[in-house]
Amino acid sequence: MHMKLLAFVLGGAFAGLAGAIYGHYLSFVSVDDFNMNKSLIILCMVALGGMDNALGVTLGAVILTLIDEKLRELADYGMFFYGIILVAVLLLRPQGILPRRMRKYQLLATEKLRRVFGMQAETAKASEGKLD
């Protein structure tokens, strides 16, 4: 539970910081700045790259941004292309371009987290899915 709370707090802090920087950049923030299209674009970036891998999500964002820039003259059909990409990725490669890293690295990270945060044995087993 402690790790989930920490992840939630850190995610919220980074999202808040990003929102503050974006608001400063725009000088004025309104509801019209955030619509369904932006949510769909972010969903496509995450699905394309792979939800379990930050590097994959970054790669998905770079690829979709480059596609968006190359197809700027077809701006009216942008969401159509994003929809096609999203459906194709979900059907053909649901794990994304870069799937989850090797199990070896997960075990190493779990062991480091146990040492740093002093997790108890039961909690460590539950986080690995080995709870009896």
Q: Which residue has the tokens 């009216």?
A: 76
Q: 59 in a domain, yes or no?
A: yes
d(CA 118, CA 35): 43
d(CA 128, CA 3): 13
Does residue 41 sit in the same domain as residue 24?
A: no
What pLDDT sits at residue 113? 66
Q: Which residue has the tokens 């949510």?
A: 39
All residues at 6 or more sequence positions from 46 whose CB lies less than 8 Å from its CB, including other chains: 57, 60, 96
Does residue 54 sit in the same domain as residue 119?
A: yes
Domain count, the chain: 2
| Domain housing 25 | 1-32
Does residue 74 sit in the same domain as residue 95?
A: yes
* Statement: residue 49 has pLDDT above 80: yes
Does residue 19 sit in the same domain as residue 81?
A: no
Among 5-9, 33-37, 115-119, name the most confident range: 5-9
Q: Quick: pLDDT tens for 94-125.
A: 778 777 654 555 556 666 666 766 655 555 55
| Maximum pairwise Cα distance, the chain | 57
Does residue 46 sit in the same domain as residue 94?
A: yes
Structure tokens given for 96:
């994304």
Does residue 87 sit in the same domain as residue 74?
A: yes
Does residue 60 sit in the same domain as residue 85?
A: yes
Does residue 53 sit in the same domain as residue 110?
A: yes
Structure tokens given for 45:
């970036």
Cβ atoms 98, 55 nearer than 8 A: yes
Q: 132 in a domain, yes or no?
A: no
